């Protein structure tokens, strides 16, 4: 994933899902993340990283991914939120809204 840094350094929020195809909680999260991506695409980009891909080993080490799924929001290269394990669609939307409000408050 050679352009990962470019993706997370944008102004728009970027949601990243670190997963593995063999991981049951990751498979459970897939329809939730698909729904989130479909409904929130104007507000955030979604990026999925398969930790089994040898090309992303550096990313796995850089972000210390030891549990999957690991979900993260980035803006301008900064990790704004991180959680491992399954979460609900509503929780993801709530986190997105809180991050947007925080950014709006900081812009004043």
Catalytic one among 8, 13, 26, 32? 26
Concerning whether 47 is annotated as a catalytic residue, the answer is: no
* Whole-number CA gyration radius for the chain: 13
CA dihedral 18, 21, 25, 26 (to 10 degrees): 40
Catalytic residue among 1, 7, 23, 56: 23
CB 13 within 8 A of CB 99: yes
Neighbours of 50 (CB within 10 A): 15
Q: Which of 69, 96, 73 is nearest to 85 (CA)?
A: 69
Q: How far is CA 15 from the centre of its chain?
A: 3
- As annotated, the active-site residues are 23, 26
């Amino acid at each position: 994933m050679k352009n990962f840094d470019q993706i997370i350094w944008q102004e728009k929020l970027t949601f990243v899902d670190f997963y593995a195809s063999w991981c049951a909680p990751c498979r459970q999260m897939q329809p939730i993340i698909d729904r989130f991506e479909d409904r929130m695409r104007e507000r955030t980009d979604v990026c999925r990283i398969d930790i089994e891909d040898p090309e992303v080993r550096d990313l796995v080490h850089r972000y210390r991914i030891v549990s999957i799924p690991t979900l993260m929001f980035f803006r301008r290269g900064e990790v704004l939120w991180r959680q491992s394990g399954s979460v609900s669609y509503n929780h993801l939307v709530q986190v997105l809204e809180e991050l947007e409000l925080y950014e709006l408050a900081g812009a004043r």
